[in-house]
Structure 1
Amino acid sequence: MGSSVTEFVHAALGRGIARADIVRALEQGGWSAKEIESALDGFVESDLPLPVPRKRVSGSAREAFLFLMLFASLYTAAFALASVLFDLIHLALPQPGDLTYGTIVSLRYGIASTIVSFPLFLFMSRVVAREGVRNPGQRISPVRRWLTYLTLFIASIAVIADLITLVVRLLEGEVTPRFGLKVLVVAMMAGAAFVYFIRNLGGDQAAPPSELRLSPGARAGFGAMILVVLAALGLGFWYAGSPMEARLLAQDARRAEDLGRISERVERYYRNEGVLPPSLHDLDGNPGTYVDQKTDRVTAEPYHYRVVDPTHFEVGAVFALPSGPADGKVAARRARPGEAGFWRHGAGRVLFTIDAARNDPVPR
């Protein structure tokens, strides 16, 4: 708010002019109800012949902090929720060649970001709303207006990019249900941002409320938003699994990696010596075949190794859970391209038979 209206109110109150007359005069001058209320709120109603300035509850630095926290939590929650929804679309409508493990990892990060940022956004929204009631001038804060218009700009760019991508895919004939759902997610989130912030900007021109109350429309909007977030998080947990299940899958993935490393060193020993090593300890004599992890990292039980015949050997471990495409991909990270998916397993003790001469492993 400019200093001119504040100076006018100060001078008018000093001359004993009634507040109602000051309001009518400023309205004729084109000032909004919010600006008039903020200027009058800067002075206490007193019997003294001079206007008494009111101590502001919040200063510019505090306002900047509150609004930056509000919008930062909003941006984080919006991008995290979009990431969760995109990952759910990928998992619900998979395509050939999709790497499920990467999607699960992204989904877990999105869930964690949403769990932290969304409640923070709701909390900061309530704090800022309370400050707006205590200090009506805060609702026309330059920081708030700049961040609001920046958010509208980002939402506009998202909608434009969404439409351009949609047209390009239509021209290329590559429109799929998965792509259509992604377009719908972006459009709905950008549209929600438009409605929310445009209503806020329009509300700045109205007189400030005397107490913190949400309109029925705002309550419905917040309720719908919370339901969407809870539904997305619920589906995310269902696809990503519980923390205990994720921990067990990670342990199984490390077991599969260890077996892959052991088999690689055994095959290298076979190429160098022409025979299979009688035991894993025979690999320790050469730096090129040395294996540092010969036991299970969790149970400390030694990994299974047995020579089947002069060219075949077995490796094995006890797995906690059956593997799926996700941890099968993890286990094959250190394997050669021809072995992708070879280390998939069931729960319990699983043995893998490998032909060192043909370099063509066959699981059993």
Structure 2
Amino acid sequence: MSFNFAYLSGGRLYLKLGQANVQTIISEFGQAVQQRESQQQQRNGWKQKSVANLMPAGMGQDRQPDRSKVAVQGVCPTSADRLLYTLAAGEVGGIFTLEQFAPMVNIGGTAAPVARPQTKEKRLFHSADFKVDRVDFHPEYQLIACAAIGKDGTANIATMPVNAVHLSQVTEGDSLDLAPKWIPGFRRAIVFQSAGIGRDGAGYIIEQKHSTIEQLDIDRQEVITLASDPKYDLLSPQMTADGTLYYIRRPYSSLRQRARFSQLLKDALSIPARLCTAVFEWLNFFTRRHTGKSLLSLPQLPQQTNSQQMLFLGRLVDVGSEMERNRRFGDADSPSLVPRSWELIEQFPHREPKVIGSGVLAFDIGAEGQIVYSNGSAVYGIIPGGVAQRLIIDRPIEQVVLLDLDNHLN
């Protein structure tokens, strides 16, 4: 059995259709935003240089955020030859469709790609008021569900008919409601992950509770908790037509615990460097006072950092350390980028959760029970009753979704 799927890596969208090579999808809207930003920077470049020349040496050398960066945040199929995806381009977030991405015909009983007009990108919605994250599509009701992330740090689930131009929020509150997924069937119901947040007196977020799995029945306007464990974050839920729940489970740690551990680790690692710097500066001061020259005459270069930390599912992960630690598990050339305690869980109704994968960052479930999942370095596929087979290697892989191309087979 061949797998057809799309995946996100480094904010870019890729397609893998059967045995064909991986395709890279480029957003025309995103390219236009980058081009306008680049032209504006060129026009204003002389101003930035003038200001930099007035600053003392060493000031203004910090890397500025790249406002023109374009990143695909979420993707899902809507039909056999149409994709729906969300895009963050500079200060703007939007929802787009891509048509004619997977032309297929039946040649001698085998599906094969054929020539077809170039893919078409269509913008359904965009806004500078909030960013749009993961997205899903309900084929019967032609409804889009997504997570709308506001500038105040909250995230709510929103829906929109595919032919509309405005999102309607269906959850509210000071929380992070993310990763919506329609429940298969003819009712309008969504599963999603939710975590409450706490703020200080100035309104800054200082705490985040563990993530739970919620079910929203839009018609009944009812939200119920499907799974919760204060020891774990339960993330990226999906439910099949028979009520089986799948999700990623990872150990929970509060923001304060993470901040304390991160600062402690940073301080411990910097002790030798601080001691060496103190000794050198004392010797350098003594030398300059008596000889008028510094110990080193090399020009001072801006510091460069080579951080291996990456943000996955709202958590900073030291991917270098995790890769080295996980090489002895599975494929040595595609080790997991996240801890093995990030587990893929299968939970049948009225049964205990069952672990079906470790070191899992993203996954998707097909209508026939097939599974694709990623450990961040590769994508693996499992057919019902089978074992995992590696499909592609890439990194970092942030999301993977199955594509149903049956409608292309004549």
TM-score band, normalised by shorter chain = under 0.3
Higher relative contact order (CA 8 A, sep 6+): 1
Which one has the bigger strand percentage? 2
Q: Choose 1 or 2 for highest CA Rg.
A: 1
> TM-score, normalised on structure 1?
0.20
Taking structure 2 as the reference length, the TM-score comes to 0.18
